Amino acid sequence: MFSIIQAAGWPIWPLIFCSVIALALVIERFVSLKAAKVLPPQLLDEAIMVSRNGVPNPDVVTQLEQNSVFGEVLASGFRTLNNNPRATEEDLRSSLEGAGRMAGSKLQRYLGALATIASAAPLLGLLGTVIGMIEIFGSQGGDGGMGTMPGGGNPTQLAHGISIALYNTAFGLMVAIPALIFWRYFRARVDDYLLAMEVASERFARHLVTLRK
């Protein structure tokens, strides 16, 4: 592996850096976007059951908020009623919508960075290709001394230029393609979560209206 890095030259180091960052982001998103941390299946039913006789106390609301991302949305509705038991339906929906936007921002965290890597990696590979081509053209300007080709080119420099061009092109695609695949996968997953949270929040908003004093 190290011999490949040596053959690819210095242009491959930014690609290696991008690959490490992309791998870290993919692992982080897989962990953070688990259903248990975002939208536990029974959380809404449990929240409605706990509050069937009235708004839960602040300790229960805090525990709900720490449960998951969707728990933060539900907790915002309870807090609105705790602060103002006669809050209007519009106030309750506004509170849930604001918390929902915050939740959406949290779910989409780092996806922009992953998309940037997917877009930039081929360009970095292209940069390495251009540098390799420069090496190739430079090898054609030999002085005709020992180790040069009959046409004046240096075979060692020519081979080095070709290796830089090919290795960087290939590595750029190897970084970009998985990054793009995972970015699209996570975007679809986030969209599914947001749709499910929107539907659940609508049901929760109707429940909150019944708890007003």
Over the stretch 20-68, which tens digit does the pLDDT of each residue have? 999 999 999 999 999 999 999 999 999 999 988 888 888 999 999 999 9
Shortest CA distance to 117 belongs to which of 166, 174, 163, 188?
Answer: 174
pLDDT tens-digit readout, 131-164: 878 777 766 655 544 444 444 456 666 666 777 7
At residue 148, the pLDDT reads 46
Label residue 184 by pLDDT band (50, 70, 90): very high
At residue 4, the pLDDT reads 60
Measured between alpha carbons, how far is 92 from 79 in angstroms, rounded to an integer? Answer: 10
Measured between alpha carbons, how far is 121 from 102 in angstroms, rounded to an integer? Answer: 30
Q: How far is CA 90 from CA 97, 109, 189, in A?
A: 10, 29, 29
Max alpha carbon distance in the chain (Å)? 96
pTM: 0.81
At residue 164, the pLDDT reads 76
At residue 147, the pLDDT reads 47
180-206 mean pLDDT = 95
Measured between alpha carbons, how far is 195 from 188 in angstroms, rounded to an integer? Answer: 11
Measured between alpha carbons, how far is 3 from 26 in angstroms, rounded to an integer? Answer: 27
Shortest CA distance to 176 belongs to which of 126, 131, 109?
Answer: 126
Q: How far is CA 5 from CA 11, 38, 126, 168, in A?
A: 9, 40, 16, 9
